[in-house]
Amino acid sequence: MKTSLRALIGSAVAAVTLLALNPAPAQAASLTMLGADVSTLQRTLDLGGKYYTASGTQADPYDILAGAGANYMRLRVWNNPASGYNNKAKVLQQAKAIKAKGLKLLIDFHYSDTWADPGKQYPPAAWSSHSLTQLQTDVYNYTYDVCTALKSQGTTPDSVQIGNEINVGMLWPKGQVTNSNFAPLASLLKQGYNATKACNSGTQVMIHTADADSDANARWFYDGIKAQGVTWDITALSYYCMWHGTLANLYNVIADVKSRYGKPVVIVETAYMYTTANADGQSNSIPGTTTCDGQAATKAGQGTEFTWIQNTARNAGAVGVFYWEPTWYAIAGNGWDPANINGTGDGWDNMATFDASGKFNSYVKWTA
């Protein structure tokens, strides 16, 4: 009862704070894109990993996620990762499983052989010596190839990201934004957009940054690409409270970019810890001491924080929220480094919605 009361009071305080900071809140939308990034799931299944409902019954992980309200799955695609996972062939395989469950599909193009994020945007080895003009062709051809392969097997992507957290560009150094010159990046983004629409005109194109922390940064980036004539359908942001600030700030960024660019907004990455423990030899990416909004690193705290993030996004006018890697619990052989997938561990195990035994956290729910 004390925990429930504390959560209720905390929720009320958060709501009052948001209203105080935003006396004229944006019109509330419905969250139609209730998502989960399941990019490591196939590896877990191939290693014999099992998933269980909160009551301990073994079940298909997609069914468990859908039962908690998720309706949209996200898969990253790397060009030629050393592990062989998250490449085109594996994405095609996993896309079949996702679409067979009646779920929608978001494909996240990193345009790299490994992780691409605000601090690193390395081109695939096969493109490393290419000029900007060649990279434009590479982006078009690769995007079109993956999209049409998915379409040909009956798993047309419902949406795609042209780049992952491209705060200062992608395919560095050719596509990096330097001295606020967005022209090189814009030339690449246009090719990704055109290739997607040539594959399937109904597939929505997202441009994704981790700029939920700063409205000034978001305006700098999206103003920059807009001025270069870049077209996109959805503005996509990452939000991790331990890195990107308060819920009130998140509200303000979402409301502003929605109004400023006239496009739907989606939080394509978020997560929260359920424990301070580490289930393997890999240090946790986010230590258990880094909590937010008074929510403890517990299963209840994880569920409440995720609910608050969804509520904030909805109230600010967003149309979707994706939980990042909820199925990535610690299992030997499913490491973070594609160049050493067996020799590295999982730094995300305390952030997953399945615990170290593969059991789902019943407090986590996706809500429209």
Catalytic residue among 165, 213, 280, 349: 165
* Tokens 């190839």, residue located: 145
- Count other Cβ atoms within 10 Å, centred on residue 363: 20
Catalytic residue among 269, 280, 293, 305: 269
* Tokens 């789902």, residue located: 360
The C-alpha atoms of residue 207 and residue 237 are separated, in whole angstroms, by 8
* Residues listed for the chain: 368
Active site residue 325: no
- Give the per-residue SS3 of 169-191: ECCCCCCECECCECHHHHHHHHH
Count H helices and E strands in the chain, helices first: 10, 8
The C-alpha atoms of residue 258 and residue 264 are separated, in whole angstroms, by 6
Cα distances (angstroms) measured from residue 216 to each of 31, 167, 203, 256: 25, 12, 29, 10
C-alpha radius of gyration, the chain, whole number: 20
Q: Is residue 235 classed as helix, strand or coil in its secondary structure?
A: strand
The C-alpha atoms of residue 139 and residue 127 are separated, in whole angstroms, by 10
Q: Which alpha helices (H) appear in 153-246, and where do they start and end?
A: 183-199, 215-227, 241-244
> Residue 65: CB partners within 8 Å, gap ≥ 6?
36, 38, 73, 326, 327
> Could you give the residue numbers annotated as active site?
165, 269
